[in-house]
Amino acid sequence: MGATIRLTFPEPDIAGLVFDTPDRGANVLSQPVLQELDEHLSELERRTDVQGLVISSAKPTIFIAGADLREFASSLDISDEEAEAICRRGQTLFQRLARTPFVTVAAIHGVCVGGGAELACWCDRRILTDHPRTQIGFPEVKLGLFPGWGGTVRAPRLAGLGNAVELITSGRSLSARQAVAMGLADQFVAPEQLEAAAIAMVRQEAQSGRYRQDRETRRGSIAFSETELGFLGLTASAMIRRETKGHYPAPEAALEVILEGSQLDEDAAAVREAKGMARLFGSPVNAALLNVFFLTDRNKKDRGVDSEAEPAEIATVGVVGAGIMGSGIAAANLKRGFAVWMKDASTEALERGLRQALEEASYDRETKSASAAKLAENAPRLNAVADDADFSICDLAIEAIVENEEIKKQVLPQVESRLPETAFLASNTSTIPITSLAQSLSRPERFCGIHFFNPVRRMQLVEVIRGEETSDETVATAVAYAKRLGKMPIVLRDGPGFLVNRLLLPYMNEALELLLDGVSIDEVERAAKAFGMPMGPITLYDVVGLDTALYAGQVLWNAFPDRIAVSPLLSRLVKAGRLGQKSGAGFFRYSGKKNRPEPDPEFDKILSDLLRERREMSREHITYRLFLPMLLEATRVLEESLVRDVRDVDLGLIFGIGFPAFRGGLLFWADQVGAATILKQLEEIAYLGARAEPTEMLQEMARTGSQFYSRGMVP
Nearby residues of 361 by Cβ (< 8 Å), 6 or more positions away? 330, 331, 332, 334, 335, 374, 378, 382
Handedness of CA 399, 400, 404, 410 (dihedral sign): negative
- The answer to whether the CB of 540 falls within 8 A of the CB of 500 is no
d(CA 362, CA 376): 9
List pLDDT tens digits, range 190-233.
Answer: 999 999 999 999 999 999 999 999 999 999 999 988 999 999 99
Nearest-Å Rg of the Cα atoms of the chain is 28
DSSP state of 313: P
CATH architecture of 316-495: 3-Layer(aba) Sandwich (3.40)
Q: What is the pLDDT of residue 553?
A: 84
Count CB-CB contacts under 10 A for residue 138: 30
d(CA 70, CA 293): 10
d(CA 260, CA 253): 11
For residue 216, the SS3 value is: helix
Q: What is the pLDDT of residue 431?
A: 87
DSSP assignment of 486-549 equals T-EEEEEE--TTTTHHHHHHHHHHHHHHHHHTT--HHHHHHHHHHHT-SS-HHHHHHHH-HHHH
Is the confidence at residue 713, as pLDDT, over 70? no
> Long-range contacts: 402-405, Cβ < 8 Å, 24+?
402/321, 403/429, 403/430, 403/431, 403/432, 403/548, 403/551, 403/552, 405/432, 405/436, 405/437
Mean pLDDT of 431-437: 93
Mean pLDDT of 341-357: 94
d(CA 473, CA 706): 35
- The answer to whether the CB of 679 falls within 8 A of the CB of 699 is yes
Q: What is the pLDDT of residue 367?
A: 81
Nearby residues of 261 by Cβ (< 8 Å), 6 or more positions away? 152, 153, 156, 268, 269, 270, 272, 273
Q: What is the pLDDT of residue 190?
A: 97
d(CA 122, CA 653): 39
Looking at this protein, which amino acid is placed at residue 174? L
Q: What is the pLDDT of residue 715?
A: 35
Looking at this protein, which amino acid is placed at residue 326? G
d(CA 491, CA 481): 13
Q: What is the pLDDT of residue 564?
A: 81
Domains 5-282 and 501-642+674-710 share a fold: no
- The domain ranges of the chain are 5-282, 316-495, 501-642+674-710
Q: What is the pLDDT of residue 1?
A: 53
Is the confidence at residue 588, as pLDDT, over 50? yes
List pLDDT tens digits, range 114-146.
Answer: 999 999 999 999 999 999 999 999 999 999 999
Looking at this protein, which amino acid is placed at residue 129? T
Mean per-residue pLDDT of the chain:
94
Place 371 in a pLDDT band, splitting at 50, 70 and 90.
Answer: confident
Is the confidence at residue 56, as pLDDT, over 90? yes
Is the confidence at residue 156, as pLDDT, over 70? yes
d(CA 569, CA 692): 21
List pLDDT tens digits, range 165-201.
Answer: 999 999 999 999 999 999 999 999 999 999 999 999 9
Is the confidence at residue 712, as pLDDT, over 50? no
CATH code, residues 501-642+674-710: 1.10.1040.50
Is the confidence at residue 592, as pLDDT, over 90? no
Query: What is the b/e burial string over 45-55, where b = at least 16 CB atoms within 10 angstroms of the residue's CB?
Result: eeeeebbbbbb
Count CB-CB contacts under 10 A for residue 190: 10
Is the confidence at residue 113, as pLDDT, over 60? yes
Q: What is the pLDDT of residue 559?
A: 85
- Of the segments 73-77, 581-585, 698-702, which one has the largest average pLDDT value? 698-702
Nearest CA to 20 out of 65, 87, 71 is that of 65
The residues annotated with a catalytic role in the active site are 451
Is the confidence at residue 714, as pLDDT, over 50? no
- What is the CATH topology of the domain spanning 5-282? 2-enoyl-CoA Hydratase; Chain A, domain 1 (3.90.226)
Q: What is the pLDDT of residue 473?
A: 98
